[in-house]
Amino acid sequence: MDASLDDLYREIILDHNRNPRNYGALNEGNIVEIEEFNPLCGDKIVLYLQSDKEIIVNVHFTGEGCSISQASASIMTDLMIGKKINEADELLDKFRLYMTDLNNSEPDVNLGDIDAFQGVKKFPARVKCAGLAWNSLGKALQELNS
C-alpha cells in the first residue's frame, strides 16, 4: 500500500473516532441491546439495534476504547441503517472474510469505509478491536432471527 493511501485510511479512522456516527443509546421502540467487551485491551461496545424484523431501522452504539474499535463501530452503524436483515448478514460475512484474508487487499465497494482497516488486518490483536462492534452486530442479528 502506498504512503498516500495509508494516510487517507488513517484519516478515515481518526475522523470516525473523533466524530462517531450514530453514537448514543436508543431507548424507544423494539431494541436489541448487545454488549461486547475485549478484556485484553479494555475496549467496550454496546450496540443498540432497532428493526421491523425485515429491515434495520436504526443502529447506534456507545462504548469506549481505542480509535480502531470506535471507528469500526461508527462505520458499521452507518453501513447498516436501512439494510435488510439478510443484507446485514451478508455484509457481516464479507467483513469477517475481509479482515481475516491477508491475501485479499481489494477494496469492496459494499463495505464503504471499512477499506480503511486494510493496514489493521495485518495485526491480529487489532483485528479483534475492529471486529468488536461487528461481533455485537452478529449477536443482535442472531437474536432477531430467533
Contacts of 97 (CB under 8 A, 6+ apart): 104
The pLDDT value recorded for residue 120 is 83
53 closest CA partner among 82, 90, 84? 84
Task: State the average pLDDT over residues 71-76.
Answer: 96
pLDDT of residue 28: 85
82 Rama sector, left if φ>0, alpha if ψ -120 to 50, beta otherwise: left
- Which pLDDT score, from 0 to 100, does residue 3 have? 53
pLDDT at 9: 64
pLDDT digits (tens, 9 = 90+) for 89-117: 999 999 998 888 877 656 565 677 888 88
| Residue 112: Cβ within 10 Å count | 15
Cell numbers given for 3: 504512503
The pLDDT score that the predictor gives to residue 4 is 55
Task: Report pLDDT for 106.
Answer: 62
**What is Dmax (Cα atoms) for the chain?**
46
Q: What is the pLDDT of residues 14-54, one digit of tens each?
A: 999 999 999 999 988 889 999 999 988 899 999 999 999 89
- What domains are defined for the chain? 3-145 (3.90.1010.10)
User: By C-alpha distance, which of 31, 64, 34 is closest to 46?
Assistant: 34
Edge-to-edge order in the sheet of strand 31-37: 31-37, 44-51, 56-64
In the predicted model, what is the mean pLDDT of residues 137-141?
97
pTM of the model: 0.90
DSSP states of 77-143 as a string? HHHHTT-BHHHHHHHHHHHHHHHH-TT-----GGGGGGGGGTTGGGSHHHHHHHHHHHHHHHHHHHH
For position 6, what pLDDT does the model report? 63
Please, what is the average pLDDT of the chain? 88
Residue 59: pLDDT over 70: yes
Closest-CA residue to 65 (of 115, 144, 113, 125): 125
Which residues sit opposite 47 in a β-bridge?
34, 61
pLDDT band for 5, please (50, 70, 90 cuts). Answer: very low
